[in-house]
Structure 1
Amino acid sequence: MKIKSVCGYCGVGCGIEYDTRRLVGDIDYPVNEGLVCSKGASELHTIETPTRLLRPKLRKAYEDFTEISWEMAIETIVHNIRSTSPERIGFYLSGQMLTEDYYVANKLGKGFLGTNNVDTNSRTCMASAVVAHKKVFGVDYVPVRMEEIEHCNLLIMVGANPAEAHVVFNNKIKKAKKEGLKTVVIDPRRTETAEQADLHLPIRVGTDIDFLSLVARRIVDDGKTDDAFLDAHVNGFDAYLKKIKKIPTKKLLKRCGLEEEAFEAFMALFYQSENVISAWTMGLNQSAQGVDKNLALINLHLLTGKINRPGNGPFSLTGQPNAMGGREVGGLATTLAVHLDFNEESIAKVSEFWGAQNIAPAPGLTAFEMIEAAERRELDVLIICHTDPVYHLPNRSRVEAALKKVPFIVEINAYDDSETKPFAHLRLPAAPWGEKEGTQTNMDRSITRQERLTRRSIDCKPDWEIFSMIGRAMGFVSAFDYQDAEAIWDEYRRMTALSPKGHMDISGVDAASLKNGGHVWGEGLFDDNEFLTPDGRANLIFVQNERRSESSSLEFPYLLTTGRTRDQWHSGTKTAFVDRLLKHKPLSYIEINSEDAQSAGIADGDKVKVTTARGALVFEAKVTENIREKTLFVPVTDRRINYLTNDLLDPESKEPDYNHNAAKLEKWSG
């Protein structure tokens, strides 16, 4: 008997079918229509691997782990929670969790323990987009869906590489190109996506706002604004106009490192395209000015009215399978639940719904702010679930030093080989993809049911059950008396009726209906151009490049960037094992421009030393013409990379700046 489920890798959310022998794409599921990428096709291998964590384990500092019972594990957690105050407790969650997992963790932390220090690793990849959406639209809402590529004339991809990070979505793009779609890729690297594009603009690292401002200025100068749309549906155009007309166009074009002919080629494509979608991911978001970069891109759609019509609009691409679902249930420390913020009215609504009395009145600590609190010895308990902050947070040496100061760290994980393991005091075995059931939301708001495909490993538990056990042991028995994931879904879907203006109300969508296909929330929300701002109008916000990111210098003449590759996933905890079976791309290398390599006496395959203000690492050189001069690239699957990255944060989104690291390069002779 075949079981239909959904892939647990990227934000595309492909439907899959499983029998006892293999996993294939679900031909009836509209997101992927039977397609599945190499990661998804090999996902079965990630369930039964030698790297699985299978028993609860406890230790004292610097001693070996000892297997313990679940009862002792929960008692230990409860003791440590009761031994401190709510503001000294933190939860760090993950887009690998299902919606039910996220929901229970958020309810426990914010509703009953009284800590709003409940954040997710989505903070490090899409928090800038969330803030920008809320500033412009009044709500965190993605107004484009993947299927709209079929109606689009021009797809602009900025700091995104779908050919490697969103493979099945990229197949949709390639299919649409055969029907006339034009694509532009704006990226300092000539990625696989850029190879397929009609136009590649290799702008310098850190000049995204400069380029997008040049486009906006040109639209204004050429009289290509949609004045009727602006007058009826957008705030701030007059103020924006005064500022955009003052930008120094020649200076900004030079700063971008573009020839005028290339810019004109872009404008020609833009003007001849009735329908335009822009798509972006970490290349814009992961910046000390990530929110502003998002605003600069969204502004182009507001200026031209290319939004809220099929084949038009800004499309934020998410990297994890349930990053969107986490945002919906309140997985970010800066939101409460179901897109409600920390204001008196929202707190009252949520308190009544949950029967909770302990919700704190202000946002909690975000991911790296918890590290800063740990440095000050202001964090006593940190519960980490399905993520690896020692590996993925920036300035790793600082993170390691901070976590050593946290008296009690719990790691909930399906795998035993995390980089966080040496810093944990208690490790709990969680059920991974394939051993649990629940729901997830992909990057275009499609909610899909993930089914259990195999038996659950004997001592492993789904995340929701672990957090429920903690809640009951803390004395909140009735609030966490869930029998299964469906009971949690039923509670959550009823809660969505509380969302602002009911925009994500899915209270009528029961778990049984999801077994027969997905559900898309928020369909047609902005069709009448009524946004969820107080006055119903979108906000046009002028931004300029304040150059907050780390810049190159005489001492550090290069800029080091990071990103994903096609066959790998994060640190390779899952895919690296499969990689040994299927022999995909390597986990570690550094791309160097061929002219830079020649100047430094570096040949392809040489060992090179890369140094930033935070540390030095040795890599194998991959010499290529597909990256800008004075730019370096290392895939994030190299677990060491964040020893080099900086911990500058966007002041609004608190998202780290992974892609602007001043570096020096030298041939290594060790």
Structure 2
Amino acid sequence: MAAHIPVTETTCPYCGVGCGVAVQGAGEAVAGLESHPANRGRLCVKGAALHDTLDLRHRLLYPEVDGARVGWDTALDAVTRRLRDTLARYGPDSVACYGSGQLLTEDYYVANKLMKGFIGSAHMDTNSRLCMASAVAGYKRAFGGDSVPGCYEDLDQADLLVLAGSNAAWTHPVLYQRMVAARKARPDVRVVVIDPRRTATCDLADLHLPLRPGADGLLFNGLLAWLARHGHLDRDYIREHTGGFQDALARAEADSGSLADLARRCDLRQADLERFFHWFAERPRTVTFYSQGINQSATGTDKCNAIINCHLATGRVGKPGASPFSITGQPNAMGGREVGGLANQLAAHMDFAADDVDRVKRFWNAPNMVSEPGLKAVDLFQAVADGRIRFIWILSTNPLVSLPEADRVREALRRCPTVVVSDCMGDTDTVRMADIKLPACTWGEKNGTVTNSERCISRQRPFLEAPGEARPDWWALAGVGRRLGYAEAFGWRHPAQVFAEHAALSGFENDGRRAFDISGLAALDQAGYDALTPVRWPVNRHWPRGRRRLFDDGRFHTDDGRARFVPITAALPDDPPGAGELIMNTGRIRDQWHTMTRTGKARRLLQHIGEPFVALHPRDARRHRIEDGQLAHVENRLGAIIVRARITTDQRPGELFVPMHWSSPFSARARLGALVPAITDPLSGQPESKFARVRVTPCAVRWQGFLITRVRHGDPDCLYWSYSPLPGGHLFELAGDDDPDRARRRLATLIGEAGQGEAPQWLDLRDPTAGHFRRVAVRDGRLIGALFIHPAGALPERDWLGGLLQRDRLEDDERRALLGGEAPDGGAGDGPVVCTCFQVGERAIRARIHAGDRSVEALGRSLRCGTNCGSCLPELKQLLQS
């Protein structure tokens, strides 16, 4: 009789979709959770590869103080002592905490309580400032609270889907596939994508509006004015449920001008603009789905309100299939906002109004309650740089990669007297700066809750024992709280107790003016908490089972119960690029997440795109003498990176795109945050990450190569390298501008393997005149490593050699083929992986197309590609068209 394998129902730790995950045993396999309302059993490729990231490679497993391993008591004593000393000498404003949407709600709650109620510093901010702060500010101005009105079901019911600044096909694939399914079920649905780039999401679009970067606010102001001129307003809704319409309309009319002028300023065809406006007017069930292309802007809050204004003017808020829908970037960005994760918030969606401050103070019995907002992320790290903040605790995030002007952030932390970092990983750019390192639990070990983009609270349940001495973040924070003398306030023994307190605070003196109220969950005991099923807030006596949509009754959380129109004067970015400059856009790629500390561990997630790159238009490539696949410098006054060039007509001329993910453990010079200026939205404090002026030039190299090795002994010493894990080893792509012979002697020392056995046998192939070199090491019949160098980069594919690292013994013909770098049977690899789920390469797909497969459905039947998460479908269609 087969042994029963337990299944744990938990939640994915990646994007804000908040997918339910069913985990078998100790993570042997993962699958989408059929019963979860967010994903209905679907997972994207990142979620489907979660079990590939559970090993202990590169984990931070033990506390360290000043480089020495210590026990937890010693570490927390050191944190507390340095914190006390800093408070005594410089006061509470010298202390800061920087959190993350990767934290669970319980972790976030304890951090905010400790900082804002007991240490007395409001300088508690989060990396959600980098992705969601403008959406928060826009909702609060319009609705009186940080409240997303819609839900995912609206995507199924909408007649018009407007995706603004969102490449959902890559960043929120499960929701994108939901849109694909809705379109297939109802062919009359129209989809508009508003994005300067032609992205994979445009595969679904009936209309792509590749507008001038930064012109989104102008576009939606123009839409509002056009709707008014052509009689498409919902006058009854405006009169009964809103305020400030005339001022907003007057500003929009003055701002947008004629349709022809609007099209010119947005750099769009007038006919396309008019088509979009007509579709918006004719389809009352409209969802505008907006993300970082809107938020990450110096005018992001105004752009959000320009979108909301159009929805309010047509009564499209909180109705089935009709809402302005901000999609969050992180799994618990919304949960962090619920507990006051932003420096200008207090817990339970309260602000710094005197009544709110007093209310939270009394609930917590807080002796040092803050009364004014703290510093937002960019300003917070500037305060570290100039010495105002002298103690900072960073939890579960990597600001040395993600923040703008990242080199200055690194220097700020280098000079900060005390840097405490809580992280699950032992080698990130930020962990390298830590004086005190605290090992945190990660996905699979964590126990708590998260809230997704549709306000759905879900449990993240553990199925693994915490390794080494890793502990939950809330536990470490509470330990410091107790050591400061506040044992009663931080005496929790289980996260269920933290959640219950959080839920009780949400209902404390809440007369209905605050939408966030989960007081109906405050009485949960540990068993009830463990059994908690997904539920959308509010959850209280009025909504005991949660509420699907907010504002469906036309009542808002403002003083008069009316939504507010916000007058917007759209501002295009100042100063056009100078001679030779291009505009750099940034964002995510399909298979990676944030700074790759988790996804970078899974080889298959680096097979689709394995190196950092810059995408630019052929016209710009010709002008700057850059060829496809060539290395290129991208630089400005702030810094410089070296990345691989990708030439594509998906870019607008004069603009380029660089992905955000590569950090120092994964590449020599690809931290794009170093190029992003610290320009922020004046209301939200969110940085402008989509518009940086840069120059691009070819990177002259004398040789290129790759290194495969069983053991990573360090980083290569050369101009360019990027790293990918291999099953059983490591792969480095290499390039240099120095003498190839010197480079090969230096880099060959990185080949090796710890342990006993016979001395390695070295197999060499050299052509000094041409600079061609290959070296392979074999020990005990096993491949140990290989270094291939060639002046022009004429190199074999890496798959076959890399695969040999998993073998305990080589066959004779394999051994003879090592220096050739290709399988002895001469079989070619599959080429670049297109379908990560089923490891289907481009060559196999092209072969099936030539064999007669003429549709994605046919390819799916032959190769299974495109039949799981669907992220590769746009690329399959491109291959079919080519």
TM-score range, shorter chain: over 0.9
Q: Which has the larger radius of gyration?
A: 2
Letter in 2 for 1:260: Q
Q: Is 1:571 paired with 2:595?
A: yes
Letter in 1 for 2:677: N
Instruction: State whether residues 550 and 661 of structure 1, in contact with CA within 8 Å, keep that contact through their aligned partners in structure 2.
Output: no
* CA–CA separation in structure 2 for the residues paired with 1:106 and 1:122: 14
Give the SS at the match of 1:427.
strand
Give the corresponding residue for 2:115. 109
Q: Deviations over 1:9-45 (max 9, x none)?
A: 1111111111122111111212111111111111122
Letter in 2 for 1:40: G
Give the SS at the match of 1:634.
strand
Give the corresponding residue for 2:717. none
Residue 582 and residue 624 in structure 1: after superposition, are their counterparts in 2 closer, same or farther (change >3 A)?
Answer: closer
Q: Is 1:442 paired with 2:449?
A: no
Q: Is 1:7 paired with 2:38?
A: no
Instruction: State whether residues 334 and 451 of structure 2, in contact with CA within 8 Å, keep that contact through their aligned partners in structure 1.
Output: yes
Q: Is 1:610 paired with 2:634?
A: yes
Q: CA deviation at 1:590?
A: 0.7
Residue 602 and residue 527 in structure 1: after superposition, are their counterparts in 2 closer, same or farther (change >3 A)?
Answer: same
Cα RMSD after superposing both structures: 1.5
Q: Is 1:543 paired with 2:568?
A: yes
Structure 2-normalised TM-score?
0.74
Q: Deviations over 1:383-414 (max 9, x none)?
A: 00000111110011221222222110000000
Alignment map for 1:193-232 (pairs within 5 Å) = 193-232=201-240
Q: Deviations over 1:298-319 (max 9, x none)?
A: 1110111111211111100011
Identify the match of residue 463 of structure 2 among 430, 434, 453. 453
Q: Deviations over 1:257-278 (max 9, x none)?
A: 1011111221232122120000
Q: Is 1:81 paired with 2:116?
A: no
Q: Is 1:520 paired with 2:532?
A: no
Identify the match of residue 370 of structure 1 among 369, 380, 394. 380
Letter in 1 for 2:168: P
Give the corresponding residue for 1:669. 700
Q: Is 1:641 paired with 2:666?
A: no
Residue 177 and residue 43 in structure 1: after superposition, are their counterparts in 2 closer, same or farther (change >3 A)?
Answer: same
Q: CA deviation at 1:489?
A: 1.0
- Structure 2: stretches of 5+ with no match in the other structure: 1-5, 539-546, 664-670, 702-882
Give the corresponding residue for 1:486. 496
Alignment map for 1:198-597 (pairs within 5 Å) = 198-247=206-255, 248-249=257-258, 250-498=260-508, 499=510, 501-509=513-521, 510=524, 512=528, 515-522=531-538, 523=547, 524-547=549-572, 549=573, 551-579=575-603, 583-597=607-621
* CA–CA separation in structure 1 for the residues paired with 2:476 and 2:153: 37
Q: Is 1:623 paired with 2:662?
A: no
Q: Which segment is superposed worse, 239-248 or 203-212?
A: 239-248
* CA–CA separation in structure 1 for the residues paired with 2:402 and 2:631: 24
Q: CA deviation at 1:550?
A: 5.7
Q: Deviations over 1:589-622 (max 9, x none)?
A: 1110122212323221011222223122221110
Q: Deviations over 1:519-564 (max 9, x none)?
A: 11032441211111111111111212233x4644233531001001
Q: Deviations over 1:121-176 (max 9, x none)?
A: 10010100111111110000000111111211001011011110111111111100
Give the SS at the match of 1:299.
helix
Residue 501 and residue 240 in structure 1: after superposition, are their counterparts in 2 closer, same or farther (change >3 A)?
Answer: closer
Q: Deviations over 1:428-482 (max 9, x none)?
A: 1000010111000011000001100111113000001010101011110011111
Give the corresponding residue for 1:155. 161
Instruction: State whether residues 458 and 532 of structure 2, in contact with CA within 8 Å, keep that contact through their aligned partners in structure 1.
Output: no
Identify the match of residue 138 of structure 1 among 136, 144, 147. 144
* CA–CA separation in structure 1 for the residues paired with 2:43 and 2:281: 35
Q: Is 1:660 paired with 2:699?
A: no
Letter in 1 for 2:19: C
Letter in 2 for 1:217: A
Instruction: State whether residues 150 and 550 of structure 2, in contact with CA within 8 Å, keep that contact through their aligned partners in structure 1.
Output: no
Q: CA deviation at 1:343?
A: 1.8
* CA–CA separation in structure 1 for the residues paired with 2:14 and 2:162: 24
Q: State, as a whole percentage, how many aligned pairs show the same letter.
A: 36
Give the SS at the match of 1:402.
helix
* CA–CA separation in structure 2 for the residues paired with 1:147 and 1:515: 24
Give the corresponding residue for 1:62. none
Letter in 1 for 2:15: C
Give the SS at the match of 1:440.
strand
Q: CA deviation at 1:421?
A: 2.1
Q: Deviations over 1:339-365 (max 9, x none)?
A: 101122111111111111211210011
Q: CA deviation at 1:224?
A: 0.8
- Structure 1: stretches of 5+ with no match in the other structure: 60-64
Instruction: State whether residues 145 and 515 of structure 2, in contact with CA within 8 Å, keep that contact through their aligned partners in structure 1.
Output: no
* CA–CA separation in structure 2 for the residues paired with 1:72 and 1:555: 57
Q: CA deviation at 1:240?
A: 2.2
* CA–CA separation in structure 2 for the residues paired with 1:89 and 1:345: 25
Letter in 1 for 2:537: W
Give the corresponding residue for 1:45. 52
Q: Deviations over 1:496-532 (max 9, x none)?
A: 1035625222122236266252111032441211111
Give the SS at the match of 1:383.
strand
Instruction: State whether residues 287 and 322 of structure 2, in contact with CA within 8 Å, keep that contact through their aligned partners in structure 1.
Output: yes
Q: CA deviation at 1:586?
A: 2.3
Instruction: State whether residues 591 and 606 of structure 2, in contact with CA within 8 Å, keep that contact through their aligned partners in structure 1.
Output: no
Residue 122 and residue 111 in structure 1: after superposition, are their counterparts in 2 closer, same or farther (change >3 A)?
Answer: same
Give the SS at the match of 1:633.
strand
Residue 49 and residue 583 in structure 1: after superposition, are their counterparts in 2 closer, same or farther (change >3 A)?
Answer: farther
Q: Deviations over 1:174-199 (max 9, x none)?
A: 10011223211000111111122111
Letter in 1 for 2:534: G
Q: Which segment is superposed worse, 576-585 or 479-488?
A: 576-585
Instruction: State whether residues 576 and 587 of structure 1, in contact with CA within 8 Å, keep that contact through their aligned partners in structure 2.
Output: no
Instruction: State whether residues 331 and 452 of structure 2, in contact with CA within 8 Å, keep that contact through their aligned partners in structure 1.
Output: yes
* CA–CA separation in structure 2 for the residues paired with 1:170 and 1:408: 43
Residue 108 and residue 587 in structure 1: after superposition, are their counterparts in 2 closer, same or farther (change >3 A)?
Answer: farther
* CA–CA separation in structure 1 for the residues paired with 2:235 and 2:42: 42
Q: CA deviation at 1:585?
A: 2.0
Q: CA deviation at 1:241?
A: 2.8
Q: Is 1:19 paired with 2:24?
A: yes
Instruction: State whether residues 317 and 552 of structure 2, in contact with CA within 8 Å, keep that contact through their aligned partners in structure 1.
Output: no
Give the corresponding residue for 2:747. none
* CA–CA separation in structure 2 for the residues paired with 1:581 and 1:624: 22
